[in-house]
Structure 1
């Protein structure tokens, strides 16, 4: 078994070694490949996970899973590792895992953005949003505050600077905390707060915050409603302009067997579904209802609320986000796609009734006190650092302290990591097991006369979702119907029927009501039938096959 721990975070070289170790130890289940290169030339690793003895991966329904598209959000790579470990160790003992790998396939990309993660995990970390490519300009900024670990302790905290016009003051009931100065308050001791860092070209008066040279947000670079920089900062030069995003888009569009997609981020402790830019009223009704059912199951298993990006996760009530992975996967690929925000410090501290994106802007002091108690009792004081003096090269005598966001907020602290990772495997297994699954219901031969035979093939969808997955896929004609074929023996002729027949879609069970009524009926819309009339020598064999790009491939052979 690969030497992997779930109480630490791995840099690129270690992660690469671990992933290849899994593939070497479990070749019957895992294949590894690079699907592209990052901006700095690192491989973007992709693991194909299935029981290869039961068929090729592209002939099985698949679920896409990825993580770490944003630089600081490294816990998602651990989510993928933990899930990989679950699959290979539970096969043969857990019936759902066994059925999943025998009949279906996972495509797992643990680290979409290896360059950004290396900066976040370095000994003296640098915090950027995503890729390390200079954007929107190539020249180095040379003015203002540069966020960095200025005292070399491996953390980036806050600096507090005495300032009579400062907006902050020391909390009167808990001196470690900083609270807002009242609107009309005067006569106290006030402070200005800045991210830890150095000042370039400081004139002794004005402090600007220098924008990072690396201004990209890879999760704004997908083709779904992509907008230019003036509309949405960080979106890139054009849709899929970034190699990391282009690699994902190329892989997904060339693997039509993918039936769903889940991208892991941090933090908030929620399961987010599209749309980002419009109301639920714009959804095809059946897709919204199915999304809600999948989300309900996700909440039941993980404990994370399932929410709408547009209705419950907007940073600006008059603006919205576009160019995201999940919007693209739903709108352009017709998949049920989710963004999972791993970890909620608030919930860990006992804060349960809060608005996910609004909390930073406005919350009661009691929440900060709960978080501080959580830090003291559960984190042994490592999450919130008491203010300590520092002689700043430009600002003079200041203090550094406050939350170590990389340790306690952006990702689960290492000692809490495995518990958080354990929330997800059951839902990821369930999410793939609901995919459509093509199976043979009946295959038969009936002799009509001398050397003349009727050959019949009936296939069915045994999965919960329909073969087309979403109404959006039908609306946009993103998926073909089931294709049935017959291969004749030498000398045989096809008297009736086509050698290849393209039929329709196969229904699933996802639209059924919670209880039957007197009007309930279950037509066999989950089955398709095709017949051929064949003239051939008795005892010869015909080969039959049916394939659906999302529901899989089945084959059989009949003797005439």
Structure 2
């Protein structure tokens, strides 16, 4: 408990450092040509972007090109694989390439848009890359961060689905998947024919039919709102579901919706078949998109933190996805998650920090468990957008069907968020009316709210990245033991919250240990010092010059010792940590 209190106190202290770094220098203000720069934002970015809209794949790739061209010393982008339909899956690498080997810096993985209708994850991922490089010469904190860390940013890991949702008829909930053909009932209709856009307006809205036995009536104060009638009242309408037709006469409208799949059920940890976990395919990693991401993750053992963006609900999620996997989250690891997640809840008003299986629902084969439990990476998944953001009403937060969305459209969108009800002659239902919320409303942010949430979520991932391991040699001593033998001691300090290895990682030996090597002396023996006061040590029996340390915990130190022959001179200590980076320290010679 005391250790947790200390960590939280340090967290509060570091918030102060974060704020201090973000202050603009007076000289920077004087250099502004015109106007006044708003703190926290670039006044004249090299890459002009409209962060109040949703970009298609062509626009996104142009953004990657423009950012790399404007900041070649900080940005490169590459395709890590192809989607099912042959589209590139791009990853932006953002770091200061002039300082250190990018492959050896602690890395933050960010992705979004694994589901088709979760558009804003891509925008927030792109905004993060843009914000980092557009502020690198203005904000000292960002400059120093990119020297120490590297960001791998995949704005969309399901490009087929993104294009499908933007350019094909959909409603706010469809499609989570994409255009891969799945005919679930053998009628010859496949997943891309899920919905019929009756009036060809690009929106799949609701259908209603007038009837005195219906359970709904129109709200007299707002024609977009449907109200359930009270007991004893005569109804006016029955609701017929989302816009569409019964293609095969089986009495079901849009019946092939169950023929889809869920790419967030395709990962390798605790995968379950579709009869247990709806949306799973044939085996873990069926999808080429999943395979491409996994290949990249495995090829980059320096990834120490990860963030995946979804919608909806205003949640900062951590694993596990299933209750039976709670055993793999140790007390130490949960303390790290709690420190970061609690800070995130402060940075994101209206968002709650919660556990997936406990506070949401069970997920088998999810990406978050793959990253956290297969690779030992501290991972969060944010469910973007919440009704709290509409009027800052905590009592209504998270309720997508609430009246707040109707009022928000009335007062702030001026009717732009809904398709007005109109008559339509349906081939099966006869005279009906169609109307309702547009596909890019409720789950996806309205434009002016998108920019704010983009910055707050980017700030959370930047904060997460800042607290990935940062190692340094805190102090060294050289002591004569007589008989031409010398004792060399070193203290290695991790200055951030995240350890070099999660407790889960250490337990299951996912990543190799940290290696602390002494150069410049004939080493006879090496050891970890468990307790310097009582001289309690653990000997390194093989390769004594290179001491293996399972983990260096956050805000903690480890001590190592070597016994060497001959008076040492020009000693160098090299720390080699997969997730903590590579650090070299020259030991000052005596005399």
Partner residue, 2:451: 418
Closer, same or farther in 2 for the Cα pair 1:138/1:547, shift >3 Å?
Answer: farther
Task: Give the unaligned 5+ runs of structure 2.
Answer: 1-45, 527-543
The answer to whether the aligner puts 1:474 opposite 2:523 as a matched pair is no
Closer, same or farther in 2 for the Cα pair 1:254/1:280, shift >3 Å?
Answer: closer
The answer to whether the aligner puts 1:387 opposite 2:421 as a matched pair is yes
Aligned residues of 2:491 and 2:558 also touching (Cα < 8 A): yes
Structure 2 counterpart of 1:434, from 459, 463, 467: 467
Partner residue, 2:210: 162
Closer, same or farther in 2 for the Cα pair 1:444/1:43, shift >3 Å?
Answer: farther
Partner residue, 1:305: 352
Instruction: Say how many residue pairs are matched.
Output: 522
The answer to whether the aligner puts 1:11 opposite 2:56 as a matched pair is yes
Partner residue, 1:507: 553
- Listed one character per residue, the Cα deviations across residues 310-368 of structure 1 (whole Å, up to 9, x for unaligned) are 23223xxxxx2221122222222222211111112354145422574xx46xx7xxx42
Q: What TM-score results when the alignment is normalised by the length of structure 2?
A: 0.80
Aligned residue for 2:290, secondary structure, equals helix
Structure 2 counterpart of 1:551, from 580, 583, 586: 580
Structure 2 counterpart of 1:343, from 385, 393, 396: 385
The answer to whether the aligner puts 1:195 opposite 2:242 as a matched pair is yes
Partner residue, 2:517: 485
Aligned residues of 1:96 and 1:429 also touching (Cα < 8 A): no
Structure 2 counterpart of 1:230, from 268, 275, 300: 275
Aligned residues of 1:224 and 1:332 also touching (Cα < 8 A): yes
Partner residue, 1:85: 130
Partner residue, 2:364: 322
The range that moved more, 235-244 or 171-180, is 171-180
Cα offset, 1:109, TM superposition: 0.7
Partner residue, 1:289: 335
Closer, same or farther in 2 for the Cα pair 1:165/1:35, shift >3 Å?
Answer: farther
Cα offset, 1:89, TM superposition: 1.5
Aligned residue for 1:508, secondary structure, equals coil
Closer, same or farther in 2 for the Cα pair 1:506/1:223, shift >3 Å?
Answer: same
The range that moved more, 190-199 or 279-288, is 279-288
The answer to whether the aligner puts 1:353 opposite 2:353 as a matched pair is no
Indicate the RMSD between aligned Cα atoms, in angstroms: 3.1
Cα offset, 1:275, TM superposition: 2.5
State the alpha-carbon separation in 1 of the partners of residues 419 and 579 from structure 2.
51
Partner residue, 1:151: 199
State the alpha-carbon separation in 1 of the partners of residues 409 and 338 from structure 2.
35
Partner residue, 1:518: none
Partner residue, 1:402: 436
The answer to whether the aligner puts 1:377 opposite 2:411 as a matched pair is yes
Cα offset, 1:463, TM superposition: 1.8
Aligned residue for 2:440, secondary structure, equals helix
Aligned residue for 1:2, secondary structure, equals coil
Cα offset, 1:83, TM superposition: 1.0
Aligned residues of 1:44 and 1:114 also touching (Cα < 8 A): yes
State the alpha-carbon separation in 2 of the partners of residues 189 and 506 from structure 1.
67
Aligned residues of 2:481 and 2:487 also touching (Cα < 8 A): yes
Aligned residue for 1:408, secondary structure, equals coil
Cα offset, 1:97, TM superposition: 1.4
Aligned residues of 2:116 and 2:158 also touching (Cα < 8 A): yes
Cα offset, 1:77, TM superposition: 0.7
Q: What TM-score results when the alignment is normalised by the length of structure 1?
A: 0.84
